[in-house]
């Protein structure tokens, strides 16, 4: 159906999307529509503005202290209370924020095992990578919520082969691990890059060279899906890991 | 996993810390702008000002503390990552953040195979009692708050069943079919209540010059 010709339908769906009554598939479909159509986004915004004041009647509840610690550790571990560093070269935050590309490249070129404990990563390890091996590339280290490295993805800039290495992600017969390119725009839908092959490492074929298909992708993520992958075109299972997709050149 | 202490209590307004007045709005906007510049202390302040409210919202929808924590963690990371995308001209900061949280909660609930179960309140009452047609709880709270007064007034003018359906859906994250089951009514009837309720709500708010 061409929704653009049915503004009333968009209005109805926007209201119910915001209210929350749409079922899984309808919700996913509508979320996709939001990406494509500014009028749909406006309608959603209007309903959010109208209905959100209802939350003033919801009782506040102080979350446990560990929640902030977990968030702080994810956005920049250097602001977590325990992380007091004397030098930027020692700062985990520095590496997560600025050096992740180098870190991931090290993983791709040297060894994945080291990154199980990012704390032990040392500067020389990165700097010792011979420059001729530092091919211009896109790299992502995908970590789970605790910061543990689950997988590494790497694609040379001009290649459409995305190399994925399972670091701590056991394949299973009853499910699949699907890799997603997250959208640059808030609220946009992720794009499937395919099912991660079962072996320790494997390649996925990108639709076009990495320079095109990953250029605007801020991060990659892995979700748990049925054996043949998501049937909706969007992640349906829990997200197991994610990490920024960085240009390394 | 779902224990008594995580059960949802009746909606209520507790304290005025999160009364979303204009000075608080300005403060939150300034903090979000600072977050967009990767100002980590500002992010911590933002968290301290908003996390109790947003945790309450998540808990109300998800009914489980562990889920609410997990979702809220994602939401704050997302708020940090997307602070630059927040546009003060489009929505109030609390509306923007609350929408992120509600959407994540709803996505979480709509995952395949997630079954929504209701835990009884500690006092033995069913959580849904809180929005039963005769219960003034949330409505009263809304009309007492200047930001929600218009909405509360318009909600109170809906037919009881429409109001109940809209409020159950909003507060508890029920889908149409879950609403039908909870209200013990045919799906079509409940859908109509929701649709008409929303239409009237919009008409009413527009008439009051707030929409």
Q: Residue A217 has which token pair?
A: 């992708």
- Measured between beta carbons, the chain A residues lying within 8 angstroms of B92 are 49
Q: Does A76 touch chain B (CB under 8 A)?
A: yes
Output the pLDDT for position B43: 95
- Measured between beta carbons, the chain B residues lying within 8 angstroms of A12 are 195, 198
Summary mean pLDDT of chain A: 74
Q: Name the residue among B73, B111, B167 with its Cβ closest to that of A71.
A: B73
Residue of A nearest to B211 (CA): A50
Question: What DSSP character marks residue A144?
Answer: -
Encode pLDDT of B145-168 as tens digits: 777 888 999 999 999 999 999 999
Output the pLDDT for position B27: 94
When comparing pLDDT for A52 and B137, which is higher? A52
| A contact test, residue of B72, B77, B109, B110 with most A CBs within 10 A | B110
Calculate the CA A7 to chain-centre distance: 33
Using the structure block, give the residue that is written with the tokens 């494509």.
A36
Phi, psi angle pair for A246, to nearest 5°: -115, 150
Q: Name the residue among B60, B99, B173 with its Cβ closest to that of A48.
A: B99
Output the pLDDT for position B208: 79
Encode pLDDT of A59-89 as tens digits: 899 999 999 999 998 886 444 333 333 333 3
* pLDDT tier for residue B48 given thresholds of 50, 70 and 90: very high
> Which pTM does this prediction carry?
0.57
Is residue A117's pLDDT more than 70?
no
Is residue A179's pLDDT more than 60?
yes
Encode pLDDT of A19-30 as tens digits: 999 888 888 888
Is this complex scored with an ipTM above 0.85? Answer: no
Is residue A182's pLDDT more than 50?
yes
**Surface-to-core class of residue A133, CB atoms within 10 Å of its CB (0-12 exposed, 13-18 middle, 19+ buried):** exposed
Calculate the CA A65 to chain-centre distance: 25
Output the pLDDT for position A150: 87
Output the pLDDT for position A228: 82
The CATH code for residues A137-248 is 2.60.40
The residue extents of the domains of chain A are 3-57, 137-248
CA distances, B193 to each of A210, A213, B68, B166, B178 (Å): 49, 45, 29, 8, 14
- Measured between beta carbons, the chain B residues lying within 8 angstroms of A74 are 73, 77
Q: Name the residue among B44, B90, B177 with its Cβ closest to that of A23.
A: B177
- Measured between beta carbons, the chain B residues lying within 8 angstroms of A72 are 44
**Surface-to-core class of residue B93, CB atoms within 10 Å of its CB (0-12 exposed, 13-18 middle, 19+ buried):** buried
DSSP of A40-52, one letter per residue? HHHHHHHHHHHHG
Output the pLDDT for position B211: 46
pLDDT, mean of residues B47-63? 95
Mean pLDDT lowest for which of A5-19, A31-45, B110-124, B129-143? B110-124
Output the pLDDT for position B209: 65
Is residue A220's pLDDT more than 60?
yes
Mean pLDDT lowest for which of B16-20, B48-52, B99-103? B16-20
Encode pLDDT of A150-175 as tens digits: 888 988 888 888 888 888 888 877 78
Q: Please indicate whether, in this complex, the C-beta atoms of A64 and B110 are within 8 angstroms of each other.
A: no
* pLDDT tier for residue A12 given thresholds of 50, 70 and 90: very high
Q: Please indicate whether, in this complex, the C-beta atoms of B174 and A53 are within 8 angstroms of each other.
A: no
């Amino acid at each position: 159906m061409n929704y653009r010709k049915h503004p009333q339908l968009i209005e109805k769906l926007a209201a119910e999307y915001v209210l929350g009554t749409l079922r899984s598939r309808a919700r996913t479909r509508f979320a996709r529509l939001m990406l494509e159509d500014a009028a749909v986004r406006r309608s959603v915004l209007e309903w959010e503005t109208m209905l959100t004041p209802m939350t003033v009647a919801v009782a506040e509840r102080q979350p446990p202290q560990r929640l902030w610690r977990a968030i702080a550790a994810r956005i920049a571990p250097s602001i977590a209370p325990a992380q007091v560093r004397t030098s930027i070269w020692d700062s985990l935050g520095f590496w997560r924020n600025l050096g992740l590309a180098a870190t991931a490249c090290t993983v791709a070129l040297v060894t994945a095992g080291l990154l199980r404990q990012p704390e032990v990563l040392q500067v020389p390890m990165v700097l010792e990578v011979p420059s001729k091996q530092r091919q211009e590339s896109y790299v992502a280290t995908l970590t789970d919520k605790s910061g543990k490295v689950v997988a590494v993805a790497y694609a040379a800039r001009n290649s459409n082969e995305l190399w994925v290495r399972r670091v701590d992600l056991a394949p299973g017969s009853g499910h699949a691990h699907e890799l997603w390119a997250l959208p640059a725009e808030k609220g946009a839908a992720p794009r499937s890059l395919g099912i991660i092959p079962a072996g320790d490492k494997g390649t996925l074929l990108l639709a076009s060279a990495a320079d095109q298909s990953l250029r605007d992708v801020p991060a990659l993520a892995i979700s748990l899906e049925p054996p043949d992958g998501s049937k909706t075109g969007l992640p349906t299972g829990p997200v197991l890991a994610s990490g920024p997709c960085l240009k390394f050149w | 996993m779902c224990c008594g202490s995580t059960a949802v209590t009746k909606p209520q307004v507790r304290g005025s810390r999160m009364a979303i007045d204009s000075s608080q709005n300005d403060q939150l906007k300034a903090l979000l702008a600072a977050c967009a510049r990767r100002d980590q202390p500002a992010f911590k302040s933002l968290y301290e000002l908003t996390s109790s409210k947003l945790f309450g919202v998540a808990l109300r929808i998800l009914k489980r503390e562990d889920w609410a924590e997990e979702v809220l963690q994602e939401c704050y990371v997302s708020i940090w990552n997307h602070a630059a995308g927040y546009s003060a001209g489009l929505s109030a900061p609390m509306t923007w953040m609350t929408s992120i949280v509600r959407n994540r909660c709803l996505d979480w609930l709509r995952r395949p195979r997630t079954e929504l179960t209701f835990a009884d309140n500690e006092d033995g009452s069913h959580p849904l009692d809180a929005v039963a047609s005769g219960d003034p709880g949330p409505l009263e709270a809304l009309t007492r708050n200047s930001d929600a007064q218009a909405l509360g007034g318009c909600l109170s003018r809906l037919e009881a069943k429409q109001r109940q359906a809209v409020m159950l859906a909003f507060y508890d994250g029920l889908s149409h079919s879950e609403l039908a089951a909870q209200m013990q009514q045919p799906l079509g009837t409940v859908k109509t209540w929701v649709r008409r309720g929303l239409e009237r709500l919009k008409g009413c708010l527009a008439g009051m010059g707030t929409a």
